[in-house]
Structure formats: C-alpha cells, structure tokens
Structure 1
Amino acid sequence: MNLISLHLTQLKPYQQYYTSKVKKELMAALSFTHNHQSSDNRRGGSHNHRHGPIVEEIEGLIKVFNDGCVERPPIVPTVSATVHPSAKVTAFDIKLSNDTWARVYIPDAAAFSPSVTLPLLVYFRGGGFCVGSAAWSCYHDFLTDLAVKARCVIVSVNYRLAPEHRLPAAYDDGINVVSWLMKQGSNGGYSWVNKCDLSNVFLAGDSAGANVAYQVALKITNTSNLKGVILIHPFFGGEARTFSEKQQHSKSSALTLSASDTYWRLALPRGVSRDHPWCNPPISSSARLPTTMVFMAEFDILKDRNMEMCKMMRSHGKRVEGIIHGGVGHAFHILDKSSVSRDRIHDMMCRLRNFIHP
C-alpha cells in the first residue's frame, strides 16, 4: 500500500466531513509528504566519493568535511504525517517554498466542526540549527499529543539547516512562515487556515527552535495578534561559561558543552564569537515581546543561562513565567521516555494549555 493510500485509509472514517476543496488540499499535501521524505533520506545518506578530512563532527549527528560536504546520519527515524484515528488529530504536510515546508496538526474538534476555530501555535523544532526535521518521529509524537491536550492548531516549521544555510536563514524562514499564515487568513487561501484563530497566535520552540521563536517574535512587524512566546530549554550561549555549563554533563541530558560549541561554530556567521546577539541576545526594554513562558530543566547545561535570561527580561519590564523541571535534562520532552520524564511532560502539557487558554 503506498503512502497516499495509507493516509486515505486513516481518513476514511471521516471522509464525509471533508469538502472537496479540503480533499484536494490533502491530496496535494500527501504527495508532497512522499517527495520530501525521500529527499530527507537522501540528504542523510552516505556518499561514495572522497571529501577530505572531517573538520567538524558531533558523533552520530553530523559530520562536516573539508570540501564542504555534510553528512547527517539518520539517528532519529523520520515518519509521514500519518496518525492513528484514536489520536483525534488530522496531520498533513504543506510546501511553503522551495526551501521550507511545515507539518500541520488540527485537532478533530476543529477539523470536523465548521464553526470551531482554535489558537494557532507555530512551532520550531530543535537540533542546534544543524540537524533535525519536522518529520522526526519524536517531534511528530509530541506535537500530535500537544495539539489535542492544548487544544490548538500547530504548524511545525521545517526551516533550513546550517552550515549550508547559516543564520539568519532559520530566522528568515520563520518570519516568512508567520507572514504567509497571516496572508492566508486575509485572502481566503487554504481552507484549513480557517480552523485557526489568527487573532490568537503563539510562537513556540525547543532548544535551537526556541531561539528561532524568540528572534522571530522580535522581528515580526504585526505583533497585535501574537499573544505569547513559549521557549522550551532555549539554546543561547556566550563566551563566558555559566556555572551549569561548567558542571559535569548529566547522562540524562541530550546536550553537551562540546556539542553546543560545535553547533554555534556551524550556525553563526563565519568569524563571529558566541557573544554575537543571535547567540547571546541583549535584552532591552524597547523589545516588543508578549508574555513569555520559559521551560528549564535541572540537568540542562543551559539552565543557568535560561534563568539569567528570565531575570533580565523581568528587569526590563517583560512578563515572564519560568518553570524548572527537576530530575530531567535538555529536551527531555522528546528524547526521554522514563517515568520521571512522563510526569514532567504531563505537567508541561497542562501548563501549555493554561498559557494558551488563560
């Protein structure tokens, strides 16, 4: 059975609810899913010719060779937008440009009820700006669950990766996606956008994706519809080490100091230090930021830096809610399946729902 058949099998119980226009959009999205999944796999594959020595490497995640070739081993499986009917979510992929696509999650409560609209959450996944995909299974599972529990439509953005596309490429992609979504609402574009309450928009992300969400929030021009920013273990840095960065790395945390430094060398513009404002952003009272929720983890090397950021934002009059989850590390919500992590994920989901629906 091919990919489109699998999607249609999943949707069959609900087909009576879809208009012909939505069916047409879904068919186009499903065709795109098949094409971009194949493309992602090719980019992560091995090469058959010499590239010279490895100049940068994070074991198991990325190799950069002297000739500029980049290899990304498929350490995390990618999955299609298929979800089980019991998940109570409709998911599909959309192509936004030649460089950018997104995975959309619509809770059934909105998908099959013409009068229901839900807040829109634009999500940027992590990966140090250098690895990852909106099709990674860990993100697909987390966001499928979040869409239902937080009662929101989620657009998970697949932005361009460094070092092929150094910053500000990811920021530009994020700004373009938000602008595209707003235009769809005003010009009667894709019908699924009608399920989004575009006066009630949130930007969110984890790790490097939280950095993207923060920068996009600062840069978008129309902030009246932006109601909140959610930063999960935000990936920031600096030349001076914090106390938590100097501590022995916890095995329960996904990010090491060495990996962090490598990501920044690959992502920042060539020749700049980690005190560049995209890595170590200054906080100013003039920055236009809505209420911000920052999640931190006890064993994350970024904990102290994140705590300091919350303190600085408050000192400049910004509304910030900071939450520290004990007993877990960086990106536990997508990578850690322990019972401790499950309890913390449940707490995170509840807080996110209350933040989106105050």
Structure 2
Amino acid sequence: MFAPIYMEISTQPEIAKDFSPYLIIYKDGSVQRLMGTDIIPPSLDPNINVHSKDVVYSQEANLSCRLYLPKDTNPDQKLPLLVYFHGGGFCIETPFSPTYHNYLTTLVEQANVIAVSVDYRRAPEHHIPIAYDDSWDGLKWVASHANGDGPEEWLNRHANFSKVFLAGDSAGGNITHQMAIRYGQDKFPGVAVAGMVLIHPFFWGRETIGNEGKEFLKRMMVSALWNFACPTTSGCDDPWINPITDPNFRNVGCNRVLVLVGEKDLLRDRGWYYYENLKKSGWVGDIRIVEAKEEDHVFHLKKPTCENSLTMLKEIVSFFHHDQDMT
C-alpha cells in the first residue's frame, strides 16, 4: 500500500501591492500595516510636564483628536494653538502612536503651546480626498471654540485663536498646505492662522527636478504610493500632490511659512520648489526654508535627540514665538 501524501496548503493570501516597510495589500482586499499601529494612551499624570487627552471631534466618522496642554498652565492663561496633522503616506500612523505622541509632547513642552493632533481616515480603506475632508472637519471643530463656548474646555479656556499655527510632516505637510488653502478661501470667524510649518512635505510632480532623476526606483515608489492613496487622481501633477499647479496656490491663508527639508530626502527638492514658487506667486507673506544636512526623510521622528533634530525643534519653537523674538 502507498502511504498517504499530505500537502501543506498556505493560508497566506496573495499579495496585490507591496509597499514594504509600510504596508502590504492582499488580493482579498485585506491590509497589513507594518508600522504605525501601536497605540499609547494619553495621560493626565501630575508628574509629567504635558497633559494629554483624547476627544471625539466627529461622531459620524468616529474620529478623535489628541489634545496637549503644558501642566503648569495657569487657569486662565492663553497659549498659541497648534493644529498638527501626522504623516505616513496617507496610509499609516495615527496621532495616538508612540512616535507622534512623544513628538507632540516634546514640542508642546518646548514651545509652551496648546496642541490638537488630528486623526483622519487613511487609504486604502478611505481614499483621498477623505483625509483632506476629515482634517478640515477637525479644523472646523477646533474653530468652533473661538468664542469660548465649544465642547472642549481646554480649548475654550487656553487657546489663543488669534495665534493659530498649522503644521505637519510628510503627508501631514501636504495636508497642512491644503488646510491653509481652504482656510484662505473660507476663513473661520474669530480665528487667525498666523503661520504654517511644512516638515518634509509630501509633494511630487510628473517631471523630475533636482536630484530626483538619479533615484528611479524611489521615484516609482513615490508615484505608485500617490496613485494608490488617490486612485482618481489626474496623475503626479494633480494639484493635491503638486501644489504649484493649483490655480489657488497663492491663496495660502497665512502670512508666515516655514519649510523644513532634509539634504538626503528624496522629497528635498520639492520642498525647495515649493519655497521658490510661493515666493514669486504673488502671495504676500514671509517664507523661510531650513535644510538639515546629511539627514533623510522625517529623521526627527526616528532620532529625536540627535543634534539636527534638536536644532529643528528650536527652529519650530522660534517660529511659533516670532513676535516675542522681535521684541
């Protein structure tokens, strides 16, 4: 008699798209995020210098934001307000991950600001423009506190709505720009956006600029990621990813902009391109760009205590307190 033959059948679904080390999409529609999935809770521990808590800003979409407040804030003290949008290629990370929680905690402590870190729905479950629409809803929720009668007491009591800053890194930098454009066209009563900070912003384009032509595989990866996050896009010159092509580009709704880039980052030249074109667009304001030598994309999140990260932190803090620095 013949012995039976047992064959091992793999239960691993077949891969459709592999964006390692970020995420993998399988042909059955399932998504495996390879990073940015850990969650750290907020804290009101009296022994730490920055308190944090999570607040729902959209019941309909079940979306929350994480608020940060320096512990020693006086009961009626008003602080500059930072609204932050996290990065992750529109596909990974949240405001509640250790990476962003730790970064915002440090930034709030050093800058002495109150901050709102906005969550938004991500691709591929929710393609662009949902991330923009969610972020705008988050910004509108923040603005609903401008008269001191919103649903969140921290914002009612401590946010200075005459000194609001928008900031974000990578995809969050892209979102930050889009929020500034929308705000420029549809301002909130009682809210003045004083400036925005674009940290290694995720901008792109069909034609290569600078050193991009030397990085064919990386270019293909960036283009594929954009088309994946936004399947209905007109391409890499879509104004959502190449803001220079936007007829409303000059309508950035603030008068101060800080662009931060890394010398070794593939997106470096796009940051410079943004800087140069906004200066000559007819937009009336002050824009500054700072390049970190020998550093790659979002290095400050990976190496928060290195010298260049600390220098970047000081640049951002100084940007928030520009009026004080001038006195």
Q: Which of residues 282, 299, 307 in structure 1 aligns to 2:264?
A: 299
What RMSD, in angstroms, separates the aligned Cα atoms of the two structures?
Answer: 2.3
Q: 1:258 to 1:77 in 2, by over 3 A?
A: farther
Aligned to 1:202: 165
User: 1:67 aligns to what SS in structure 2?
Assistant: coil
1:158-191, Cα deviation, whole Å (9 max, x unpaired): 1110111111111111111111111133234321
User: 1:230 aligns to what SS in structure 2?
Assistant: strand
Q: Percent identity?
A: 31
Q: Which of residues 101, 112, 117 in structure 2 aligns to 1:140?
A: 101
Superposition deviation, residue 336 in structure 1: 2.7
Q: Which of residues 191, 204, 207 in structure 2 aligns to 1:237?
A: 204
Matches within 5 A, 1:146-295: 146-186=107-147, 187-193=149-155, 194-220=157-183, 221-222=186-187, 225-247=192-214, 256-270=218-232, 272-281=234-243, 282=245, 284=248, 286-290=250-254, 291-295=256-260
Aligned to 2:317: 353
User: 2:306 aligns to what SS in structure 1?
Assistant: helix
C-alpha contact (below 8 Å) 2:212/2:266 kept by paired residues: yes
Q: 1:197 corresponds to which letter in structure 2?
A: N
TM superposition outliers: structure 1 runs of 4+ over 4 Å: 49-52, 83-86, 283-286
Distance 2:44 2:13 in 1: 42
User: 1:167 aligns to what SS in structure 2?
Assistant: coil
C-alpha contact (below 8 Å) 1:102/1:155 kept by paired residues: yes
Aligned to 1:321: 288
Distance 1:136 1:115 in 2: 30
User: 1:214 aligns to what SS in structure 2?
Assistant: helix
User: 1:96 aligns to what SS in structure 2?
Assistant: strand
Distance 2:233 2:296 in 1: 31
Aligned to 1:70: 31
Q: Which of residues 288, 292, 298 in structure 2 aligns to 1:331?
A: 298
Aligned to 1:100: 63
1:270-320, Cα deviation, whole Å (9 max, x unpaired): 363111111111255641331111000000001111101100000113321
Distance 1:299 1:277 in 2: 25
Q: 1:324 corresponds to which letter in structure 2?
A: E
Q: 1:307 corresponds to which letter in structure 2?
A: W
Structure in which a larger fraction of residues adopt helix = 1
> Unmatched 5+ residue regions in structure 2?
1-9, 323-327
Instruction: Give the TM-score, by structure 1 length.
Output: 0.78
Distance 1:218 1:270 in 2: 21
Instruction: Give the TM-score, by structure 2 length.
Output: 0.85
Aligned length: 300
Superposition deviation, residue 87 in structure 1: 3.8
Q: 1:150 corresponds to which letter in structure 2?
A: A
Distance 2:303 2:221 in 1: 18
Distance 2:210 2:81 in 1: 37
Aligned to 2:5: none
Q: 1:237 to 1:103 in 2, by over 3 A?
A: same
Aligned to 1:18: none
Superposition deviation, residue 74 in structure 1: 4.4
Superposition deviation, residue 139 in structure 1: 1.1
Distance 1:177 1:288 in 2: 19
Q: 1:53 to 1:272 in 2, by over 3 A?
A: farther
Q: Which has the larger radius of gyration?
A: 2
Q: Which of residues 299, 303, 308 in structure 2 aligns to 1:344?
A: 308
Distance 2:119 2:321 in 1: 26
Q: 1:226 corresponds to which letter in structure 2?
A: V
